[in-house]
């Protein structure tokens, strides 16, 4: 019996957002667990990214454990929000970004190997967008689990 494609996408995201296999061929391990091919896992992840359902597949590092990080915000004209978010997402140092209903309407988290590299990325985002980036380094750490289930 063939699996429902949407349910399979939900399983792919649910089961591996916290338990990504740390091994030589993680996508093959995921495929075996899901009962599909490694190629299908990769194709599904690619399609989910291209559709905008997920922004990226990658590690999110805990602040101050490896390198440095900061929360950042920008005041983006509404008509440029999508364009600027795409520029921001183009930096591998960006963990995630989100829109807020506020004068600072685009927020994101940056992680880099050191303070100089972090400052360079902030400058590059500002240069590419023509907009100022307000960096707000963490003063006190709180852990918020950003994972959430895709279905019941």
* Two structure tokens written together for 7: 């349910």
Contact between 121 and 141 (Cβ < 8 Å): no
Average of per-residue pLDDT values in the chain: 87
Q: What is the pLDDT of residue 64?
A: 63
For 68-136, CATH number out of 3.30.70.3460, 3.30.56.10, 3.40.50.2300, 3.90.650.10 equals 3.30.70.3460
Average pLDDT over residues 21-34: 94
Q: What is the pLDDT of residue 16?
A: 85
User: What is the rounded CA–CA span in Å between residue 143 and residue 17?
Assistant: 16
Nearest to 88 by CA among 56, 59, 65: 56
CB atoms within 10 A of CB 81: 14
Q: Is the pTM of this model over 0.75?
A: no
Question: Does the pLDDT at position 3 exceed 80?
Answer: no
Tell me the DSSP string of the chain. -PPPHHHHHHHHHHHHSS----SS-HHHHHHHHHTS-HHHHHHHHHHHHHTTS-S-----PPTTTSSEEEEEEE---GGGHHHHHHHHHTSTTEEEEEE-SSSS-EEEEEEESSHHHHHHHHHHHHHHHTS--EEE--SS---------S--
Nearest to 95 by CA among 119, 72, 128: 72
Q: What is the pLDDT of residue 145?
A: 63
> What residues form DSSP beta bridges with 99?
106
Contact between 106 and 73 (Cβ < 8 Å): yes
Q: Among the ranges 55-59, 79-83, 95-99, 109-113, which has the highest mean pLDDT value?
A: 79-83
Question: Does the pLDDT at position 149 exceed 90?
Answer: no
Average pLDDT over residues 94-109: 92
């Amino acid at each position: 019996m063939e699996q429902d494609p949407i349910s399979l996408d939900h399983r792919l995201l649910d089961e591996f957002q916290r338990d990504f296999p740390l091994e030589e061929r993680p996508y093959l391990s995921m495929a075996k667990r899901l009962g599909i091919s490694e190629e299908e896992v990769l194709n599904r992840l690619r399609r989910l990214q291209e559709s905008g359902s997920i922004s990226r597949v990658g590690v999110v590092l805990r602040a101050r454990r490896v390198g440095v990080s900061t929360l950042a915000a920008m005041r983006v004209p509404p008509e440029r929000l999508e364009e600027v978010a795409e520029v921001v997402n183009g930096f591998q140092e960006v963990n995630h970004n989100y829109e807020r209903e506020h004068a600072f309407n685009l927020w994101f988290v940056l992680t880099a190997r050191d303070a100089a590299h972090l400052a360079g990325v902030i400058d590059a985002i500002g240069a590419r967008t023509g907009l100022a980036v307000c960096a707000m380094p963490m003063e006190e750490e709180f852990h918020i689990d950003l994972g959430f289930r895709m279905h019941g």
